[in-house]
Amino acid sequence: MRETLSPLFSEEQIGESGMDRLQPGETNHWFKELVNDSPVAIYSCDKQGYITFFNQAAATLWGRQPDCGEDRWCGSWKIYYPNGTPMILDKCPMARALIENMPDEGEEVTIERPDHTFRNLLVFPRPLLDNRNVIVGVHNTLVDITEQKKGEEKQAILSAIVESSDDAIISKTLEGIITSWNAGAQKIFGYTEEEVLGKSILILIPNALRTEENSIISDIKAGKKVDHFHTMRLAKSGKQIPISLTVSPIKDRQGRIIGASKIARDISERLDTEYTIEQSAQRLGILNAIGKTISEKLDGQSILQLVTDATTRITGADFGAFFYNTVDEHGDACMLLALSGAPLEAFEKFGIPQNTSVFFPAFSSGGVARIDDIRKDPRYGKNAPHYWVPKGHPPVVSYLAVPLIASSGAVIGGLFFGHPGPAMFTAEHEDTVVSVASQTAVALENAKLFDEVKTLSAKKDGFIALASHELKTPLTTIKGYLQILEKKETETAGKLFIERTLTQVNKLNSLVSDLFDISKIEIGTLQLYCETFDVRELIFEIIETFHYLNRTHQIIFRDPGRALFIEADKQRMEQVMINLVSNAIKYSPGANIVRIIVEHTDTTVTVKIKDEGIGLSPIQKKKIFTRFYRAEEASDIAGLGLGLYLTKEIIERHHGTIDVSSELGEGSEFFFSLPLKST
């Protein structure tokens, strides 16, 4: 480039610049060096606008090497006005400076480089005059302001962000003096910028939290950031505002910490929302728990205690109570049944609340009463003999009464809540208690029904126990005399009849025994008398018994060859085996074989009784172990359907299990498992 340079500065020009102490040749060379090496872009054009010279800095700025004597006015690839409009080359500042013979001071242009990057420039074109003041060309100095411009833009964006933020953005010195204050800060804290600039940040900090500032500042000095710190700050109004605070160090160019920027977000709304959500969730949780529990519970007292406790908790009441709407022998009392939040003694001595004007509406009309300040209620204070809240009674200002109404519309009772502060109960509390009350009313009715059923059932079981015992007495005599007659009878037919009668008496006796056992199971008085014995021994005895009793079926049993000891009530286990084997015989009229199979593991023994009988349908299988169930197809087969129910109860009381596998028409296999006695 320098080689293609045509002489730019005449010796005279240089002399005029005041450099005449230098030798002419020396001067030209010195200037060339200076211009060439300058970090500022410099170039010149002749009178026609053809570039005659440019330095290295200009080439770098343009991103290209223009052709001297070819390119005109400007070495850049493209040139624009600052607003982005393309600039006609002949109208560029250089051209204008030459044509108008006017130096241009710092006009801004934008150039585009061949690599499509842009630079912002300030241009300083000046005409070049010869000795006679005739314009011979023009030279230009280009100042690159791209970075500066970018910085300004960034600054503008940042300021806009800071100003438009809803968060308070404040900067302060390390001494805690406020140095900037945005609109968000004004909105949250109430102070204007003028009011706080230069003041201490302490004006925002509640007295109790002043030490916080020290620890924040020491963190900042250590270069640490304080992130999402939840605390309280003081607004101009004196109100304390919950905020989330982020404080970061501000560093100068050298990286020294010179202050702090803090961003404070008002989180009172968020906290309120969170609190509300938490409250609702808690309420829902309690409601759900109440609903579930009271629907499971079947005794009134514990339902009421639970409901009273829970609703007292939900409403935040100081105490809660449930009163039954019943009249006692004095004719005017309602009964206190459950109390929460206060000892029972606190209420016992005040007697009945029903006849007071405040209490009365809840019971009489079934209406809800929610009163913010009961002392201001016109009905208040009319209750003789106490008039106001009796001395010693937990103090009540806020009052809530919700009746429990039965499906019949009758008022079962009422839930009453009290709090010593005014306006403590909200509409939401009221709604919640009302919905709990309606659930409770249903639960109480169920509990009452269940109680009645339980009483009836107990009566029935007691009756069966008594009746079956009484039935045995005449059976004893009948059987005894029949046996005596059987011995004395000589006639074949008579003997046969007596024998048959005896069989029926035995059957009758076993039915009565079953009934008696069932009643004992229901009442819970079935006793087990356990002893240790070998299951095989039991099976052998059963086989022997059936050998005499039954002539239709052969019982096949393969001895497993080792003793299998269980601890059980032998008589009851005999009953189980007789039951299962009798059933197998009874329900397989077309077959002649019943198998008994014994299997065992280390801990259990399983006994299977398998027949080739009529089998069971899937529905029958499901119901077979329930009380009074019988296979319908077997209506001609006698029995009450108590046997398998009893069998299952006995097995389960021995910590065993019983089940059946069966296909209709394919026979059945009943199997029960019992724990082996560990040796």
Partner 1 sequence: MKKYIYLVDDDDNIRMLIEYLLGDLGFEVSGYGTAAGFQQGIEKALPDLVILDIILPDGNGLEMCRELKSNQATAHIPVLLMSANLDNKMIAKAALADGFFSKPFDINDFAEKVQQKIAAA
Contact footprint for partner 1 (CB under 8 A): 468-469, 472-481, 483-484, 505, 509, 513, 516, 520, 526-527, 529, 571
The residues with which 555 forms a beta bridge, in sequence order, are 594
Please answer whether residues 399 and 370 qualify as being in contact, where contact means their C-beta atoms are separated by less than 8 angstroms. Answer: yes
Q: Least distance (Å) from partner 1 to the CB of residue 653?
A: 13
Q: Least distance (Å) from partner 1 to the CB of residue 507?
A: 12
Q: Least distance (Å) from partner 1 to the CB of residue 524?
A: 13
CA torsion 130-135-136-138 (nearest 10°) is 110
d(CA 676, CA 679): 9
CA atoms within 13 A on the CB side of 218: 4
Q: Least distance (Å) from partner 1 to the CB of residue 530?
A: 10
Q: Least distance (Å) from partner 1 to the CB of residue 562?
A: 29
CA torsion 286-288-290-293 (nearest 10°) is -130
Quick one: 333 or 502, whose CB is closer to partner 1? 502
For residue 358, the one-letter residue type is V
- The one-character DSSP state at 395 is P
Quick one: 313 or 472, whose CB is closer to partner 1? 472
d(CA 382, CA 179): 66
Q: Least distance (Å) from partner 1 to the CB of residue 517?
A: 8
Quick one: 226 or 573, whose CB is closer to partner 1? 573
Please answer whether residues 92 and 72 qualify as being in contact, where contact means their C-beta atoms are separated by less than 8 angstroms. Answer: no
Quick one: 140 or 575, whose CB is closer to partner 1? 575
Distances (CA, A) of 532 to 560, 574, 651, 671: 18, 14, 16, 21
Closest CA to 450 of 309, 327, 310, 302: 302
Quick one: 326 or 571, whose CB is closer to partner 1? 571
Quick one: 531 or 652, whose CB is closer to partner 1? 531
Quick one: 191 or 516, whose CB is closer to partner 1? 516
Please answer whether residues 111 and 145 qualify as being in contact, where contact means their C-beta atoms are separated by less than 8 angstroms. Answer: no
Distances (CA, A) of 415 to 20, 125, 200, 401, 578: 113, 95, 55, 6, 58
Quick one: 527 or 603, whose CB is closer to partner 1? 527
Q: Least distance (Å) from partner 1 to the CB of residue 480?
A: 4
Closest CA to 556 of 611, 509, 514, 599: 611
Quick one: 238 or 474, whose CB is closer to partner 1? 474
Distances (CA, A) of 296 to 283, 402, 446: 20, 23, 10
282 SS3 class:
helix
Q: Least distance (Å) from partner 1 to the CB of residue 410?
A: 46
d(CA 472, CA 192): 103
Q: Least distance (Å) from partner 1 to the CB of residue 405?
A: 49
Quick one: 1 or 521, whose CB is closer to partner 1? 521
Quick one: 73 or 516, whose CB is closer to partner 1? 516
Q: Least distance (Å) from partner 1 to the CB of residue 470?
A: 8
Tokens of 267: 């989180």
Closest CA to 606 of 650, 562, 656: 656
Contacts of 553 (CB under 8 A, 6+ apart): 546, 584, 585, 588, 591, 592, 593, 594
Closest CA to 672 of 35, 663, 653: 653
**In this structure, what are the phi and psi dihedrals at residue 642, rounded to the nearest 5 degrees?**
-95, -20
Q: Which helix (H) or strand (E) holds 402?
A: strand 398-405
Q: Least distance (Å) from partner 1 to the CB of residue 568?
A: 14
d(CA 493, CA 507): 21
d(CA 44, CA 139): 4
- The one-character DSSP state at 207 is G
Q: Is the dihedral of CA 69, 72, 75, 77 positive or negative?
A: negative
Quick one: 572 or 586, whose CB is closer to partner 1? 572
Residue ranges with strand state E in 592-656: 593-600, 604-611
For residue 342, the one-letter residue type is A
Tokens of 315: 């409403």
Q: Least distance (Å) from partner 1 to the CB of residue 459?
A: 20
Quick one: 643 or 667, whose CB is closer to partner 1? 643
Q: Least distance (Å) from partner 1 to the CB of residue 537?
A: 19
Q: Least distance (Å) from partner 1 to the CB of residue 628?
A: 22
Quick one: 141 or 647, whose CB is closer to partner 1? 647
Quick one: 292 or 487, whose CB is closer to partner 1? 487
Count helices and strands in the chain by DSSP H and E runs: 18, 24
Q: Least distance (Å) from partner 1 to the CB of residue 664?
A: 36
